[in-house]
């Protein structure tokens, strides 16, 4: 792998199952740090991840991880950690035995590595219990421990926070941040928007098998500029302010809503620049300009509906 | 690398519930042999022909191996644990070999012991005949295991397909078409028995020992390679 190559490269990848197209001509790169793969259920996230893990071969296109083709490249798994969505375990094994099995198969069967992985997911006290007795959150964590026991350069996690409680989510966020600081590449899929927003530096948005957008959250939001921004403006002399605003080219509609003005605009920057100017012209006092739909949820909903 | 895979496969194959089921299936010929012996005085060869060569070889052997071999990968696919193995730097052949070995290790002793006991219960039975019966059933176990394991990787309905295959091919078709015996696992088992002890076992439909062992080896190898190929190329759920 050259020094500048992205650890994960997906180039023109499509995957179809019979007549169903699960992924349609997706191309993107994943760089070191934490990247979120976001999309609704059925969007093609898991199929994409499975292709990155070599579990599914693309119908068309190419997936490379650490500079090598994934399909049929068994040796590559020494440098990749994988945790898939379904919380499958061998219920007759203890947590420690499960991590030890992963370590053995990875050629990393050293007690200190196993201890480190189990401690990283805070399961030291429960490591000698059969995994069949674990809660869902514990199963997720022991699977995470098994996927990191060999200290992989690339970690691919499909819905890793399913079944975890808020405290565990915070711990998980700290954990992946540490991995990112170590220069690892972590790809996390989720359909829960807040999770990805809080965890990932970069987001890949997948909708209906297509990569809808890529970048940080705000850049994705800006790319979706054909969707109007909802903005709430608090100002004195509301009616005069609303009348002034509606004359701007950037404004699509203006609605008076109680003590505020709700504006729909295609050009947030223009609105932010002009609102104070207009307020001054009509002698209005501007209290606030507040975007109403800056959450991932709104971006997500918009793209899904498109 | 193969040792942890084998231990895992063995633990999965020898689950308590499955052990009970397999023991019951295996004990059926033994119970029938004991019943025949208790109710009357069987002539020499009655138990070997009626119980060993019919009930054990036709029914119990394929059923026991079928249950174990189809679930070797079938359960992993169903439980979605197969990806836990296939996302590790482990050669696919070693996963298949570990599963095959575990299936044989669990199935063979049960079947072989029952075959030996039934043979020794027969008035014509002898140590040599018992050894031949053990060898023949082992050939059957290994060959069936390889074939049924591939079926378990191919479809989630492997058990049903295996049952249909045994009934149609091993029982009906090879019974009518003599040439089909050269592609029959049951014939490989019986040919091995006859080849090792041609005084005790019936030679009417038996194929030569060399054909039996060669055929069994080829069929086992072909299905082993097909399983490796399938595991390497399939979309793992």
pLDDT digits (tens, 9 = 90+) for B16-54: 888 888 888 888 888 888 888 888 776 766 777 778 888
Q: What are phi and psi of A251, to 5 degrees?
A: -95, 130
Three-state SS for chain B is: CHHHHHHHHHHHHCCHHHHHHHHHHHHHHHHHHHHHHHHCCCCCCHHHHHHHHHHHHHHHHHHHHHHHHHHHHHHHHHHCCHHHHHCCCCCHHHHHHHHHHHHHHHHHHHHHHHHHHHHHHCCCCCHHHHHHHHHHHHHHHHHHHHHHHHHHHHCCCHHHHHHHHHHHHHHHHHHHCHHHHHHCHHHHHHHHHHHHCCCCCCCCCCCCHHHHHHHHHHHHHHHHHHHHHHHHHCCCC
* Pairwise CB contact (< 8 Å): A55 & B236: yes
Stretch (H or E) spanning B158: helix B158-165
For the cut 90, the answer to whether the pLDDT of residue B140 exceeds it is: yes
Substitution target in B87, B96, B98, B229 with the highest count of A β-carbons within 10 Å is B87
Average pLDDT score, chain A:
87
Q: Is A1 on the interface with B (CB under 8 A)?
A: no
Say whether pLDDT at A297 is over 60: no
pLDDT digits (tens, 9 = 90+) for A86-103: 878 999 999 999 999 999
Chain A residues whose CB is inside 8 A of the B1 CB are: 104-105, 107
pLDDT of residue A305: 60
φ/ψ of B87, rounded to 5, equals: -100, 25
Cα–Cα dist A42/A189, whole Å: 12
Asked whether the predicted pLDDT for residue A5 surpasses 90, the reply is no
Contact A293, A229 (CB under 8 A): yes
- What pLDDT band is residue A2 in, cutting at 50, 70 and 90? very low
Q: Sorting pLDDT into bands at 50, 70 and 90, what band is A28?
A: very high
pTM of the model: 0.82
Name A265's bridge partners: A229, A251
Cβ of A102 within 8 Å of Cβ of B88? The answer is: yes
B8 and chain A in contact, CB less than 8 A: yes
Mean pLDDT, to the nearest integer, of A190-194?
76
Interface of B with A in 71-100 (CB under 8 A): 79-81, 83-92
As a whole number, mean pLDDT of residues B157-165 equals: 92
Instruction: Give the closest-approach CA distance of A49 to chain B in angstroms.
Output: 12
Question: CB count, 10 Å around CB of A209?
Answer: 22
- Asked if the C-beta of A102 comes within 8 angstroms of chain B's C-beta atoms, the answer is yes
Q: Chain B: nearest CA to A89, how far in angstroms?
A: 7
Q: Which helix (H) or strand (E) holds A157?
A: strand A154-158
CB proximity under 8 Å: A 41-60 to B: 50, 53-57
pLDDT at B44: 67
Interface-testing mutation among B5, B10, B89, B235, with chain A (most A C-beta atoms within 10 A): B89
Question: Which of A61, A50, A38, A44 lies closest to A303, judged by CA?
Answer: A38
Residue contact A77–B88, C-beta within 8 A: yes
Q: What pLDDT digit, counting tens, does each position of B56-103 carry?
A: 999 999 999 999 999 999 888 888 899 999 999 999 999 999 999 999
Residue pair B2/B90 in contact (Cβ under 8 Å)? The answer is no
Tell me the shortest Cα–Cα distance from B119 to chain A, in angstroms.
38
Closest Cβ–Cβ partner in B4, B12, B232 for A101: B4
Prediction ipTM score: 0.87
């Amino acid at each position: 792998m050259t020094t500048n190559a992205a650890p994960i490269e997906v180039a023109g990848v499509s995957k179809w199952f019979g007549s169903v197209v699960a992924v349609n001509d997706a191309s993107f790169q994943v760089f070191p740090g934490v990247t979120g793969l976001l999309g609704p259920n059925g969007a093609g996230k898991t199929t994409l991840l499975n292709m990155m893990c070599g579990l599914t071969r693309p119908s068309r296109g190419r997936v490379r991880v650490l500079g090598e083709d994934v399909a049929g490249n068994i040796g590559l798994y020494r440098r990749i950690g994988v945790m898939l969505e379904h919380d499958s375990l061998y219920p007759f094994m203890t947590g420690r035995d499960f991590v030890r099995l992963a370590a053995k198969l990875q050629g990393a069967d050293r007690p200190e590595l196993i201890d480190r992985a189990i401690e990283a997911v805070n399961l030291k006290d429960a490591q000698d219990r059969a995994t069949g007795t674990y809660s869902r959150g514990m199963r997720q964590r022991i699977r995470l421990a098994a996927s990191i026991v060999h200290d992989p350069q690339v970690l691919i996690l499909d819905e890793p926070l399913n079944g975890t409680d808020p405290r565990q989510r915070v711990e998980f966020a700290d954990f992946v941040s540490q991995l990112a600081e170590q220069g690892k590449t972590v790809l996390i899929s989720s359909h829960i928007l807040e999770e990805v927003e809080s965890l990932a530096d970069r987001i890949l948005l997948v909708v209906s098998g297509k990569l809808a957008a890529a970048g940080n959250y705000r850049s994705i939001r800006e790319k979706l500029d054909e969707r109007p921004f909802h903005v709430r403006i608090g100002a004195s002399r509301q009616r005069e302010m609303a009348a002034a605003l509606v004359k701007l080219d950037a404004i699509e509609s203006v609605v008076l809503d109680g003590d505020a003005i709700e504006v729909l605009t295609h050009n947030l920057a223009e609105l932010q620049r002009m609102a104070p100017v207009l307020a001054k012209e009509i002698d209005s006092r501007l209290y606030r300009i507040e975007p109403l739909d800056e959450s991932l949820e709104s971006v997500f909903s918009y793209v899904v509906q498109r | 690398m193969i040792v942890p895979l084998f231990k895992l496969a063995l633990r999965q194959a020898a689950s308590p519930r499955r052990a009970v089921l397999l023991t019951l299936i295996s004990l059926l010929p033994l119970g029938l042999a004991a019943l025949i012996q208790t109710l009357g005085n069987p002539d020499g060869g009655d138990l070997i022909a009626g119980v060993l060569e019919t009930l054990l070889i036709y029914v119990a052997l394929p059923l026991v191996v079928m249950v174990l071999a189809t679930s070797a990968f079938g359960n992993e696919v169903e439980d979605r644990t197969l990806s836990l193995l296939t996302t590790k730097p482990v050669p696919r052949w070693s996963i298949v070999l570990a599963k095959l070995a575990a299936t044989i290790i669990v199935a063979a002793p049960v079947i072989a012991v029952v075959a030996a006991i039934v043979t020794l219960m027969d008035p014509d039975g002898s140590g040599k005949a018992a050894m031949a019966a053990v060898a023949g059933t082992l050939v059957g176990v290994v060959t069936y295991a390889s074939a049924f394991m591939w079926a378990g990787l191919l479809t989630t309905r492997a058990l049903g397909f295996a049952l249909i295959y045994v009934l149609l091919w091993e029982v009906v078709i090879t019974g009518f078409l003599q040439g089909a015996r050269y592609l029959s696992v049951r014939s490989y088992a019986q040919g091995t028995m006859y080849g090792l002890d041609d005084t005790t076992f019936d030679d009417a439909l038996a194929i030569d020992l060399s054909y039996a062992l060669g055929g069994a080896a080829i069929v086992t190898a072909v299905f082993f390679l097909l399983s490796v190929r399938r595991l390497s190329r399939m979309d793992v759920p």
